[in-house]
Amino acid sequence: MPPLSLDKMIVLEVLQDEPMHGWGITERIERRSNGLLSVNQGSLYPALYRLVARGWVSSDWRTTENNRTARYYSLTRAGRKQLAAERAQWDKLSRGVNLILAGAER
Amino acid sequence: MRLFYRLAALARALVGNARVDADLAEELRFHVQRETEANIARGLSPERAYRQARLTVGSVDAALETARDQRPGSLFRQLGRDMRFGTRLLAKSPAFALAGLTVVALGIGAVAAIFSVVYGVMLRPLPFRDPGRLVSIWWSRGPSTGLTRMYPSAADVIEWRQSTRAFAGIGLVRSSIQNMNLVGAGEPERVAGARVSSNLLPVLGVLPAIGRVFSPDAGQPGDERVVILSDAFWRRQFAGDPSIVGRSIQLNGAPYAVIGVMPPEFQYPSRDYQLWLPIVFNPRELTRELTENYAVVARLRPGVTFEQADAEMQAIAKRHAAEVHPTWRVVLEPVLENAVHDVRAPLDVLLAASFCLLLIACLNLSNLFGARAASRSAEYSLRLALGASRGRLVAQAIAEVVPILAVGGALGVAAANVGVRAFVAASPPGVPRLESVAVNTPVILLSLGMLVVTGLIASLTPAIQAWRSDFTAMTKEGGRAVTTGRRRADARRLGVALQIAFAVPLLVGACLLIRSSLALAGVELGFDPHGVESFHVAAPRSKYPTDADVAAYYDRLLARVRAIPGVTNAGMVNRLPLAGNQTMSIDVERAPGSIVEIDAVDSRPVTPDYFATLRIPLRAGRTFTSRDGAQASPVVIVDERLARTMWPGQSALGKRVRFTGGAWSTVIGVVGHIRATSVDEDPRPQVYWSHHQVTQDRMVLVMRGGGSAAALAEPVVDAIRSVDRDQPVYEVRGLESVVARSLVRRRLTTTLISSFGAIALILAAVGIYGVVAYGVTQRRREFGIRVALGATRGDVSRLVLREGASMALIGSTAGLVAAFALSGMMRNLVFGIAPRDVVSFFAATLTLLAVAVVSSYVPARRASTIDPAVTLRAE
């Protein structure tokens, strides 16, 4: 099974609609998962830097809606491609796991 | 695109480290703020809201630390940190750092400087199109005569042009300089010009930067007065004005049309030449009644190999030599080969010597760092115990080497740059292609390569020691072990022995050269250069059309110079001794009817007072007088060698000699033999002609002054100018400096090799001292016990001395074998001794052994003063 990093996929997923700053990302993840997932903020920034370093995410400083400056992260083209790949992989994996779990129930 | 982002991130991370950190801090601050606001919105008090927010984010510093490692280029930052750490450590032990820097700078500097010269002179392609297809053509009279590079004549070349198919073109350059007196605004100036065939530039494949090449008819009547200028001359004399092409300049009193200016890199046959003029052939040259010498350069026809051309030329030359000179052979040689054959031997030796020195430096450095790593073994174990990986330890051990290499290498290349400039300035004319010598890209690339190799060798020992360190080393080596780890000590001793082994050939070479120099200093020149000043002058034919005019002009000059108070003698010769060859072939009448041809004698037209001025003794007969004029019966003066070999047991006076095929001249005097070619070679006898009977345009005035001849130089120049104010006077030089210049190349080689030898000796001494002294510190306990058990102080110091001596003995034995094998390289450089001169080998070895004993003596003394009570209690 290929290694899979959920946090990477989730961050990419969250960024795909619009550029966001770090705090926005944590909030969005919590809201979208109905509070089921919470982000360890201490590891969010290292993860973001990793994504920037891989070239999947780019960052720039912008003004927020209430006039403060924050660093916004946005998906690059390579990031989008990567997201699609990760999603496909995830689909396959989760289908497989579901099938196995379903078989065990029977 | 993605690559771009990654590179951009890497660049940001590497360049703006501080800014990136500040960005991250700012980002986290923003995060905490928003979290605080959100908490407040959830109903927490501001204070609690902030604390909560800080907790969820975690320590900002921790995040910074983690994020830093996640950013690209963390490996580089790691290296940078190690390097900074290494530099800090080095700064704490400046003596060690200085030693390391000196060793690297010496090694790299020597190689860079010598390689600059070797590359510029021997390797750099000639500035011609496809220079590998160019060959020089010579006559050889056979290796036994020493005359293997004789200039062909114009008739030869015309014959070859007609009968060969191998060449696309054959060009000629007259071997003698065409002196042109340029009369213009300032001081009259003498300019060296080369007479070249009209096809020479196309053969070389070089075009003028401005203007055109010679037309095929250049040199024919009506198209004789055209000239192409060198870039340097054009810039100096005409301020780089391109409109000079098409205008006329005054040379030797006649107008010459400037048709072109060559590019700056075109310096042919050497950098001394400022003008190129077409050859005006004398019709008698073409019928072989008269022989002018030409350097011949030919371009191979496309598809023809060097061997094919050589074979064709040999066949043709054999046929035509049969008619002219039956024993001669034709010699083809690649142009570059021919340009550098004189200097190849010394340069090869110098290059080998510089590499030897670099190797010694590498080994020395390796031992230096090895000893340092050994002294840090306790620190290494501590780090290991605290969780550092072995890889990190090795990285740190190497990180100390890198700053030393970088700074030392830069210092070395900078020193090489200064040294090379000095070398070029100090070099005599006649070292070919010196103009292209500089510390340039290939030299810097080689230096970088050498630095990497040096770094690898130098880091080897410390890296191995760092890797091998273990937790227990702290307690073992630093603590109570009685003797040093065998292996480690052996590696260091081997390093020193190798250094000595490489130093031996250097020292032997230095001894050989120094002994050669001493032998040269004892050579009897046959003339007395002390107190003689020389002045070059040239009589333009436009002003002095006939030989009689020229000779009369020179007589007037001499009369005026002799009238100067303080001048005791003044004479003229067409070429000073030791300032280049001037040879002729002559016929000698040994007995009536028995005529012998001598292939080459030194032949010089002189004025009567020449011999007195140079204090060349008159052995028999008389010198020339004013009565030996152009109309009088031809006379000649021969040297004692010719007299002795041709007419043994008889007086040479009244015997007859002539230029081969010319009119007979009677011997009226016999003078002492002098060193005319060079101090270290004495191949030929000498003959002298009266300057009225054999007249030359270009002469050298020699003047002996009572006290200091140099002080009279200015009045002499004024006197010459007072006869003809347009007369350029050039190369004003003391005869002693002419002699010195003839030895400059040899002296440079000797100086360089000797300084390499001295440096090698110092490095070897430092190496021996370091290892022996280190051994003594390590063995204090052992010595203490020995003394406590009854060993005398003498026993202990002998033990230490023996260690130094054994390294020196092993090293010098290996070195002697190497030096013996390499001695063949010195064959052409030694004078008066054999290349395997026993004295030199012996002296070099003794010097090294002595240095080894002296360098071990200090630590040996220290060992002998060890007080067992103190040493044993201290531990």
DSSP one-letter string for B540-560: -TTTS-SHHHHHHHHHHHHHH
Query: Is the pLDDT higher at B32 or at B209?
Result: B209
The per-residue pLDDT for B167 is 92
Name the more confident of A41 and B632.
Answer: B632
Write down the mean pLDDT value for chain A: 80
* B11 in contact with A, Cβ within 8 Å: no
User: Nearest-CA neighbor of B803 among B773, B772, B776, B780?
Assistant: B772
Are residue B621 and residue B719 in the same domain, yes or no?
yes
User: Does the pLDDT value for residue B381 go beyond 90?
Assistant: no
- B558 and B705 in a single domain? The answer is yes
Q: Report whether B596 contacts B587 (CB < 8 A).
A: yes
- Mean pLDDT confidence for B143-156: 79
Structure tokens at B564: 């100067």
Instruction: Mark whether B414 and B362 lie in a shared domain.
Output: yes
The SS3 assignment for B423 reads helix
Q: Mean per-residue pLDDT for B793-820?
A: 88
pLDDT in tens, B255-291: 899 999 999 888 888 777 889 999 988 888 887 777 7
Q: Which residues of A touch B69 (CB under 8 A)?
A: 46
pLDDT at B526: 93
CA triple B544-B545-B551, angle to 5 deg = 55
Residue B307's Cβ-count burial label (10 Å; 0-12, 13-18, 19+) is: exposed
Comparing C-alpha atoms, which of B598, B570, B611 is closest to residue B719? Answer: B570
**B504 and B631 housed in the same domain:** no
Residue A1: is its pLDDT beyond 50? Answer: no
Q: Categorize the per-residue pLDDT at B317 as very low, low, confident or very high, splitting at 50, 70 and 90.
A: confident
Quote the tokens at residue B540: 């333009």
Residues from chain A contacting residue B26 (CB–CB below 8 Å): 69, 71
Lowest mean pLDDT segment, chosen from B142-146, B419-423, B482-486, B528-532:
B482-486
A45·B23 Cβ contact <8 A: no
Give the pLDDT of residue B145.
67
CA distance B258 to B246: 6
Q: Domain check: are B458 and B358 in the same one? A: yes
Name the minimum distance, in Å, from the CA of B79 to any CA of chain A: 19
Across the range B684-698, mean pLDDT stands at 91
Higher pLDDT: B420 or B186? It is B420
**pLDDT band (50, 70, 90) for residue A2:** very low
- The residue behind tokens 């030199």 is B840
User: Is A55 a domain residue?
Assistant: yes
Q: How confident is the model at residue B12 (pLDDT cuts 50, 70, 90)?
A: low
**How many domains, in total, are found in chain B?**
5
Give the span between the Cα atoms of B309 and B332, in whole angstroms. 8
**Lowest mean pLDDT segment, chosen from A4-13, B255-264, B638-647, B836-845:** A4-13
Q: Is A27 part of any domain?
A: yes
pLDDT tens digit sequence for B56-79? 766 656 666 666 665 556 667 777
> What is the CB neighbour count within 10 angstroms for residue A27?
17
| Secondary structure class of A4 (helix, strand, coil) | coil
Q: What are phi and psi of B125, to 5 degrees?
A: -60, 145
**A54-63, B38-47, B378-387, range with the lowest pLDDT:** B378-387
- The closest alpha carbon to B60, from A63, A45, A7, belongs to A45
Q: Where are the beta strands (DSSP E) in B155-202?
A: 167-174, 178-182, 189-196
Whether B271 and B374 share a structural domain: no
Residue B70 sits at the chain A interface (C-beta within 8 Å): yes
Overall domain count for chain A: 1
Q: What is the pLDDT of residue B330?
A: 87
8-state DSSP, B190: E
Q: Where are the beta strands (DSSP E) in B38-166?
A: 134-140
Provide the pLDDT confidence category of residue B398 given band limits of 50, 70 and 90.
confident
Distance CA B553, CA B540 (A): 11
Cα angle at B441 between B440 and B445, to 5 degrees?
120
Q: Is residue B736 part of a domain?
A: no
Chain B residue with CA closest to A60: the answer is B23
Whether B473 has a pLDDT exceeding 80, the answer reads no
pLDDT averaged over chain B?
Answer: 84
Q: Which residue has the higher pLDDT, A94 or B5?
A: A94
Query: How far apart are alpha carbons B268 and B203 in whole angstroms?
Result: 13
Residue B117 has pLDDT above 50, yes or no: yes
The two tokens of residue B292 are 């002018």
Q: Are A89 and A83 in contact (CB under 8 A)?
A: no
For β-strands B275-278 and B189-196, DSSP reports them as parallel
Residue at which a domain ends, from B672, B698, B726: B726
Chain A touched by B58 (CB under 8 Å)? yes
Q: In Å, how far are A11, A96, A97, B370 from A1, measured between CA atoms?
A: 22, 11, 12, 48
**Mutation target among A27, A45, A48, A76 for the B interface, most CBs of B within 10 A:** A45
State how far the alpha carbon of B859 is from the alpha carbons of B488, B618, B800, B804, in Å: 19, 65, 7, 10
pLDDT of residue B533: 92
**pLDDT tens-digit profile of B92-108?**
888 788 888 888 898 88
CB A60 within 8 A of CB A71: yes
Whether B220 contacts chain A with CB within 8 A: no
pLDDT tens, residue by residue, B616-649 = 999 999 999 988 988 899 999 999 999 999 999 9
Indicate the pLDDT class of residue B477, thresholds 50, 70 and 90: very low
pLDDT of residue B746: 82
Q: What is the DSSP letter of B477?
A: I
With an 8 Å Cβ cutoff, are A22 and B23 in contact? no
Residue B413 scores a pLDDT above 70: yes
Residue B778 lies in a domain: yes
pLDDT by residue (tens digit) across B479-504?
444 445 566 667 778 888 888 899 99
Phi, psi (deg, nearest 5) at residue B589: -90, 100
Longest dimension (CA), chain B: 138
Q: Give contacts of B62 with chain A, Cβ < 8 Å.
A: 42
Q: Which residue has the tokens 């120099």?
A: B517
CATH code, A92: 1.10.10.10
- Looking at residue B635, its pLDDT comes to 95
Question: Has residue B426 been placed in a domain?
Answer: yes
Q: Provide mean pLDDT across the span B444-465.
A: 85
pTM, to two decimals = 0.69
3-state secondary structure of B710: helix
| Within-domain flag for B135 | no
Size of interface A-B (CB pairs under 8 A): 77
What is the span of the domain harbouring residue A76?
A: 6-105
Q: Which residues pair with B690 in a beta bridge?
A: B606
Of all residues in chain B, what percent carry a pLDDT higher than 90? 24
Range with lowest mean pLDDT among B45-49, B53-57, B118-122, B461-465:
B53-57
Range of the domain at B170: 151-327
DSSP letters, B427-446, are PPTTSTTGGG-SS-HHHHHH
What is the residue whose two structure tokens read 């009689």? B548
Chain position carrying tokens 């780890």:
B485
A85 contacts in chain B (CB < 8 Å): none
CA dist B843 → A103, B353, B446 (Å): 94, 18, 34
In-domain check, residue A1: no
B116/B801 Cα distance (integer angstroms): 41
On whether residue B731 sits in a domain, the answer given is no
Q: What pLDDT does residue B482 have?
A: 47
Q: Which helix (H) or strand (E) holds B757?
A: helix B744-778
Contacting B with CB below 8 Å, chain A residues are: 21-23, 27, 40-43, 45-47, 49-50, 52-56, 58, 68-71, 76-78
For residue B30, the chain A residue with the least C-alpha distance is A70
Preferred mutation among A11, A41, A57, A74 to probe B, highest tally of B CBs within 10 A: A41
